[in-house]
């Protein structure tokens, strides 16, 4: 029996940017979400995870109603717009370090983030593989959205209006390309999205004081490596503060029926109720150890109506109540976390997109 296919996820921040752009252009955000089949997301954190297909649905409807110009309102303009990934990039000491950090950290922002770097004489090509959607207009929009994210990183170091002297796009011309008219060469329908950055610019130091790079508390999340069960658990986690999400609520967001979701989980040896309980247990133990939040606040964030219900559930999971668990955990001296040194740029040979035999 084959395993269910993976569930591509994306951070809610990019969905929320499209919803806000739709509102700024005069649209009704509630109607947009309703048509896209998305439950109320106002309480959700921008760091929450939702299926990538839900973002595609929102973008497709927004483009249909408002036209391609919605792009200018939705695209990121600052590193802060890239969330955790942007904050990690801001800790970089040079543009080269920032780009290398992006290539790795973006894997925790969206599934299918196939970015890579290739060295050529005097320049570094920053590349991304084809995005691939079922709609040409959506693919064009998504590619230019990604491009603006890449440009945002470079512009933080070299200036707000910087553009490369050459640009490759995998899609055809768009009305939104007017802003690229000063680029000497724009190549359409290329095999990758790519542009070159000179070695001189790569050495550019940060324009702002750089904070010490924060210690890493564990491996970086790679959304492409998640199983179906792990992906589903992360989506469920996003809705816990609003109460215990039932299987119909979760399945609607995942774009399937409750029966289909239960069948997929059964094929993988679990059930929805078990997945929900394990997700709560994992978060509860992490928050009790790593945060100073009260037991009441943790109970609320896990979707419990009161702390007494949470305490009884936690005692079933680990044998002691949450307060006693926190005391016992604090009596154990934690090991010092390794300092994250960033990501080294690897040399690649050949033209942009010729990466298969060269990557290590």
User: Does residue 185 register a pLDDT over 70?
Assistant: yes
- Which CATH topology does 9-202 take? H-NOX domain (3.90.1520)
pLDDT tens column, 271-310: 999 999 999 999 999 999 988 899 999 999 898 988 999 9
- Please give the Cα distance from 51 to 55 (Å, whole number): 7
Average pLDDT over residues 137-151: 94
Question: Percent of the chain beyond pLDDT 90?
Answer: 61
CB-based contacts of 335, cutoff 8 Å, min separation 6: none
CB-based contacts of 56, cutoff 8 Å, min separation 6: 133, 138, 142
Q: 168 has which bridge partners?
A: 187, 194
Average pLDDT over residues 85-101: 92
Which DSSP letter does residue 192 get? S
Q: Please, which pLDDT band fits residue 249 given cuts at 50, 70 and 90? A: confident
Q: Please, which pLDDT band fits residue 179 given cuts at 50, 70 and 90? A: confident
Exposed, middle or buried: residue 180 (CB in 10 Å: 0-12, 13-18, 19+)? middle
- Please give the Cα distance from 230 to 268 (Å, whole number): 11
- Please give the Cα distance from 150 to 127 (Å, whole number): 10
Average pLDDT over residues 24-33: 94
Residues 26-30: contacts with CB within 8 Å, 24+ apart? 27/62, 27/65, 27/66
For the entire predicted model, the pTM comes to: 0.82
Tell me which residue of 29, 10, 12 sits closest to 20, measured CA to CA.
Answer: 29
User: Does residue 129 register a pLDDT over 80?
Assistant: yes
pLDDT tens column, 328-343: 888 865 554 444 444 4
141-171 burial string, b = 16+ CB within 10 Å, else e? bbbbbbbbbbbbbbbbbbeeeebbebbbbbb
- Which CATH topology does 239-330 take? Arc Repressor Mutant, subunit A (1.10.10)
Question: Percent of the chain beyond pLDDT 70?
Answer: 85
Tokens representing residue 141 in the block: 């929009």
Q: Please, which pLDDT band fits residue 130 given cuts at 50, 70 and 90? A: confident
- Please give the Cα distance from 149 to 143 (Å, whole number): 10
Give me the pLDDT at residue 353, please.
55
Give me the pLDDT at residue 168, please.
97
Tokens representing residue 160 in the block: 């707000």
More reliable by pLDDT, 39 or 206: 206
What does R_g of the chain's alpha carbons equal in angstroms? 22
Q: What is the phi/psi pair of residue 127, to 5°?
A: -130, 155
User: Does residue 346 register a pLDDT over 60?
Assistant: no
Give me the pLDDT at residue 263, please.
93
Residue ranges per domain, the chain?
A: 9-202, 239-330
CB-based contacts of 106, cutoff 8 Å, min separation 6: 85, 113, 115
Average pLDDT over residues 206-211: 64
User: Does residue 218 register a pLDDT over 50?
Assistant: no
Average pLDDT over residues 87-91: 90
Give me the pLDDT at residue 211, please.
53
Give me the pLDDT at residue 350, please.
46
User: Does residue 219 register a pLDDT over 80?
Assistant: no
pLDDT tens column, 45-83: 788 888 999 999 999 999 999 999 999 999 999 999 998
How many other C-beta atoms can be found within 10 angstroms of the C-beta atom of residue 337?
11
- Please give the Cα distance from 198 to 99 (Å, whole number): 13
More reliable by pLDDT, 135 or 312: 312
- Give the residue carrying structure tokens 């950090």: 101
């Amino acid at each position: 029996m084959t395993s269910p296919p993976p569930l591509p996820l994306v951070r809610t921040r990019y969905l929320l940017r499209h919803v806000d752009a739709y509102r700024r252009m005069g649209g009704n955000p509630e109607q947009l979400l309703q048509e896209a089949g998305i439950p109320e997301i106002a309480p959700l954190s921008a760091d929450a995870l939702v299926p990538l297909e839900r973002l595609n649905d929102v973008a497709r409807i927004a483009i249909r109603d408002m036209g391609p110009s919605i792009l200018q309102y939705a695209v990121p303009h600052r590193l802060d717009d890239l969330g955790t990934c942007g904050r990690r990039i801001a800790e970089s000491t040079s543009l080269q370090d920032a780009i290398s950090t992006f290539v790795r950290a973006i894997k925790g922002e969206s599934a299918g983030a196939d970015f890579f770097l290739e060295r050529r004489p005097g320049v570094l090509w920053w590349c991304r593989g084809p995005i691939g959607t079922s709609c040409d207009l959506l693919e064009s929009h998504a590619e230019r959205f990604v491009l603006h994210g890449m440009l945002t990183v470079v512009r933080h170091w070299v200036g707000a209006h910087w553009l490369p002297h050459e640009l490759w796009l995998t899609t055809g011309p768009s009305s939104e390309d007017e802003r690229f008219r000063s680029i000497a060469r724009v190549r359409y329908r290329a095999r990758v999205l790519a542009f070159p950055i000179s070695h001189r610019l790569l050495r550019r130091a940060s324009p702002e004081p750089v904070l010490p790079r924060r210690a890493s508390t564990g491996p970086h999340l790679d959304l492409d490596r998640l199983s179906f069960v792990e992906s589903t658990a992360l989506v469920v986690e996003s809705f816990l503060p609003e109460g215990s999400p039932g299987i119909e609520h979760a399945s609607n967001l995942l774009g399937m029926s409750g029966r289909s979701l239960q069948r997929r989980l059964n094929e993988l040896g679990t059930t929805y109720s078990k997945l929900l309980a394990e997700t709560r247990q994992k978060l509860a133990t992490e928050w009790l150890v790593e945060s100073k939040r009260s037991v009441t606040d943790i109970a609320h964030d896990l979707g419990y109506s009161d702390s007494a219900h949470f305490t009884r559930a936690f005692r079933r999971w680990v044998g002691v109540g949450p307060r006693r668990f926190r005391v016992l955990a604090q009596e154990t001296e934690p090991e010092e976390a390794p300092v994250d040194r960033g990501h080294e740029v690897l040399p690649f040979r050949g033209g942009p997109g010729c990466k298969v035999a060269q990557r290590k």
